[in-house]
Amino acid sequence: MTLGADSGFPLRWPVLLGSVGVGALSFLLPIYARQIGASALEIGGLFSIFSVFSLALRPIIGWAGDRLGRKVFFTTGLVGYALAMALFAVAYSVPVLYLARVVQGLGSGLLWGSAYGLAIDLASAGQRGRAVGLVDETSSRGTLYGSVLGFLWLVWIPIRAGWIALFVLFSALAAVAALLAGSKVPEARPSRSFGAFGSSTLSVPLIHLLVLVAIASVPATMLPPIVIIYLQDVFRGQALPWEYLLPVESRGYALVGLALLPGALMYALLPSRFGHLSDSFGRLPMMTAGLLMAGTATAFLPGRSDLFWLVLLLSLESLALVAAMPALEALVADLARQDVRGTWYGLYTTAAGLGALFGPLFGGWLYDAVGQGAPFYVGAFVLLTLAAYLLSPWGRRMLGIGSV
């Protein structure tokens, strides 16, 4: 399949609609959890428990997708998202939030490795970066739409009152996404090689890449909830002039939204473009530059309270990660054999989520016990260290990609 306009991308509508509720959660879950009395540590736990159940499925689903096809797991994952959003709609306590996150984690374990595998299988070899970039980009557009919808809805209606209607809608959208996936997404031909995962399948560069991905996943999963908590704390007591027309408990969210909006737009518009650049100019330059820029921007975030500087630094961090991720995801396909590509994507998404087992909890503990800046400094150190490693001759040699 040749990827032309985004409208010709067969995963577009299922991924877009399935991501709307996820996008709202990424913005609203820490806020809502704080409203019902959750601590920073408990909010971190909401992100970690999601990862535990998602990670349990990903390697199995990748292996099974190579043999049975990926479409059934992709569709079932969207059904899981619909059920999870319905549970969020009735979550008035922290334990119910945890239950909803468990169901969402199971859906995620089914969904995302299958989505990347389908995109790669349906694309030509020269368009792998663009293909995985389109998955990221379409998902981020759904995330953006959900965040904007949730923000516009909940700034005018108190968050507890508006929560039910919002997540009933998100559940319905995920159900529609599942129906479209079942009826519109083509099946990529599964592998006819049914041997066990053994020495002929193993790849030293891929194993090395997975280790680096697991290390990078710590700051990648630790920082997003911490950023939102930090922005809430920095903007506490502040509001834009028009916000004084809103209910008291809804004031201040506009500043948080404004600080995050440019980065969200970059995730929604740029991944496929950067993926195409990695197809043309190589994976390693995009990965290294992204890690360097992200680490530098993260290191300068603590102590900033001015909206201009927060927007600038968060935008630079987002731009950097948007540049790096499609190259990294396409590199998995470049290094893996075609008949075990789904297995390796399952392992890749597992490695990418490993940091989420303890990253958000660790970040919450650092924020509460050490100081507001501690999670940012730890995250910046990890990102910059990884960039330096990729620049080293030994790092390039271990990945087996030279300067590519």
At 127-148, the pLDDT tens digits run 878 888 888 889 989 988 888 8
How many other CB atoms sit within 10 Å of the CB of residue 401? Answer: 19
Most confident of 1-15, 251-265, 312-326: 312-326
Count of helices and strands (H, E) across the chain:
15, 0
Given this model, what pLDDT does residue 199 score? 42
pLDDT, average across residues 290-315: 93
Q: Is the pLDDT of residue 76 over 70?
A: yes
Residue 7 pLDDT exceeds 60? no
Q: Where are the domains of the chain?
A: 11-187+200-399
CA-angle at 323, arms to 225 and 81, nearest 5°:
45
> What is the average pLDDT value for the chain, to the nearest integer?
83
Q: Which of 52-61, 293-302, 322-331, 352-361 has the highest mean pLDDT?
A: 293-302
Q: CA triplet 383, 364, 247: central angle to 5 degrees?
A: 115
Mean pLDDT value across residues 91-115: 92
Q: How far apart are alpha carbons 176 and 174 in whole angstroms?
A: 5
CB 229 within 8 A of CB 236: no
- Residue 182's H or E segment, with its range, is helix 159-184
Q: How many degrees, rounded to 5, is the angle at CA 185 between CA 179 and CA 186?
A: 140
Q: What pLDDT score was predicted for residue 123?
A: 75
What is the structure's pLDDT at 18?
94
Tell if the pTM clears 0.75, that is, is over it.
no
Residue type, 197: F
Any idea which architecture 11-187+200-399 has in CATH? Up-down Bundle (1.20)
What single DSSP character describes residue 12? H
Two structure tokens written together for 278: 């990695």
Residue 116 has pLDDT above 50, yes or no: yes
